[in-house]
Amino acid sequence: MRPAQALIDLEALRHNYRLARRLGGGKALAVIKADAYGHGAVACARALEAEADGFGVACIEEALELRRAGITKPVLLLEGFFDAAELPLIVEHGLWTAVASQWQVDALAAFRTEAVLTVWLKLDSGMHRLGLSVEEFRAAHARLSALPQVGPMVLMSHFARADELDSARTQEQVDTFARAIDGLAGETSLCNSPALLGWPQVRSDWVRPGLMLYGADPLYPQPSPHAAQLRPVMTLQSRVIAVREIGVGEPLGYGARFVAEKPTRVGVVAMGYADGYPQFAPNGTPVLIDGVPGRLIGRVSMDMLTVDLNDHPQAGLGSVVQLWGNAPTLSELAPRCNTSAYRLPCSLKRAEKVYL
Ligand SMILES: *Cc1c(COP(=O)(O)O)cnc(C)c1O
């Protein structure tokens, strides 16, 4: 069997959830959209269900996958519904919905049901992606509060630059939020992972951790005392399936991106960009070879990549090569490959997921 595997440590996931909840000081919605950032939404929801206050997903398809798997905890549609036709399903499955655009307010007002919906009303406090302006927000709050089909609302907003600890923007967004909710009834929800880890002065009733649940540090390389407590959840690994010796001046792999300057022992590893490993990882990208730091050489191909075994005399056929996990971490690897710690696990494909 092909040895490419993503080992997923569900105890580490629970540890990170508890840390997020403790830092937030209130309730925590575990964000498991995009198949839990590639970690498997159903498995992650099951692992967290006993203690999570709720789950956040991107769309009703993701929510229904959780319900079909027997998850009964609250599930919030972070972008709300895409079409008023989803509203009966939202009621049927007891989902929570964000309301982030004026047309969604209108659709909700026109929707007839015996049920009482939980609505997270979203303010655009400065990101300018989704959310209502301050005036629209206050008007929508008044209008929705008067509707029998709308229950207590959670007042939410989302930060654009919380990962930049020296940016004034996050505090400006907090101030805009405070102005918008002044005098309005409802719990509040502000913090994503970077805000939880980097902005302890920002507080709300609900936090919405995503990336940090999976053990990646969104503030890297800025120092962050809490991020040091995160435990990586996914370890991507495979094995050496062939060993080659190449002479001085000989090229390796597609495009001869690596040319040997000395006799080089090369390990061929069953892992490629079709598994989600970044195609443009440069020569020298760190890997672990049987637990010892080593480096990638040559261009990553669809199903294979190559590593330098010169400093690993003990390594050979069958050696375990770790591509990310406790080392290199997603946060260390991402900037070297011109990508982000968010995107790396989201790209996971084909490699077998093994839950620990
Ligand atoms: C994805 C998402 C989050 C989680 O963000 P992280 O940076 O991964 O913690 C929180 N809130 C909303 C609205 C989101 O869409």
Q: Give tens-digit pLDDT for 109-154.
A: 999 999 999 999 999 999 999 999 999 999 999 999 999 999 999 9
Residue 213's nearest CA partner among 59, 8, 19 is: 19
* Residue 131 CB less than 6 A away from ligand 1: no
The CA-atom distances, in angstroms, between 197 and each of 207, 308, 345 are 11, 37, 20
Contact 193, 245 (CB under 8 A): no
Split at pLDDT 50, 70, 90, the class of 221 is very high
Q: Which atom of ligand 1 is nearest to the CA of 33?
A: 1
The stretch 213-239 carries a mean pLDDT of 96
What local confidence, expressed as pLDDT, does residue 234 receive? 98
According to DSSP H, which parts of the chain are helical?
10-24, 33-37, 41-48, 60-68, 87-92, 102-110, 134-145, 169-181, 193-198, 330-336, 343-346
Q: Which atom of ligand 1 is nearest to the CA of 156?
A: 13
What local confidence, expressed as pLDDT, does residue 300 receive? 98
CA of 207 to the centre of ligand 1 (A): 9
* Residue 211 CB less than 6 A away from ligand 1: yes
Split at pLDDT 50, 70, 90, the class of 158 is very high
CA of 165 to the centre of ligand 1 (A): 17
* Residue 209 CB less than 6 A away from ligand 1: yes
What local confidence, expressed as pLDDT, does residue 274 receive? 98
Separation of alpha carbons 125 and 75, rounded Å = 24
Q: Please identify which residue in the block is written with the tokens 């609505």.
A: 119
What local confidence, expressed as pLDDT, does residue 330 receive? 98
**Does the N-terminal peptide bond of residue 221 adopt cis geometry, omega within 30 degrees of 0?**
yes
The stretch 340-352 carries a mean pLDDT of 97
Helices 10-24, 41-48: inter-axial angle, 10-degree rounding: 60
* Residue 122 CB less than 6 A away from ligand 1: no
* Residue 5 CB less than 6 A away from ligand 1: no
The stretch 173-179 carries a mean pLDDT of 98
What are the catalytic residues?
33, 254
Encode pLDDT of 32-80 as tens digits.
999 999 999 999 999 999 999 999 999 999 999 999 999 999 999 999 9
Separation of alpha carbons 125 and 155, rounded Å = 12
Q: What angle do CA 96, 99, 104 make, to 5 degrees?
A: 115
Q: Please identify which residue in the block is written with the tokens 């669809």.
A: 302
CA of 313 to the centre of ligand 1 (A): 44
The stretch 184-204 carries a mean pLDDT of 97
Split at pLDDT 50, 70, 90, the class of 261 is very high
What is the token pair recorded at 175?
A: 């101030």
The CA-atom distances, in angstroms, between 102 and each of 99, 113, 130, 131 are 8, 20, 10, 9
302 assigned binding-site residue: yes
What local confidence, expressed as pLDDT, does residue 175 receive? 98
**Does the N-terminal peptide bond of residue 328 adopt cis geometry, omega within 30 degrees of 0?**
yes
Separation of alpha carbons 222 and 204, rounded Å = 24
What local confidence, expressed as pLDDT, does residue 95 receive? 98
Q: Given 3-state DSSP classes, what are the helix, strand and coil percentages for the chain, each rounded to the nearest 5?
A: 30, 25, 45
Please name each of the domains of the chain with its CATH number.
10-218 (3.20.20.10), 234-328 (2.40.37.10)
- Over its C-alpha atoms, the chain yields an Rg (Å, rounded) of 23
Pocket probe mutation, ligand 1, options 31, 163, 164, 213, max atoms within 8 Å of Cβ: 31
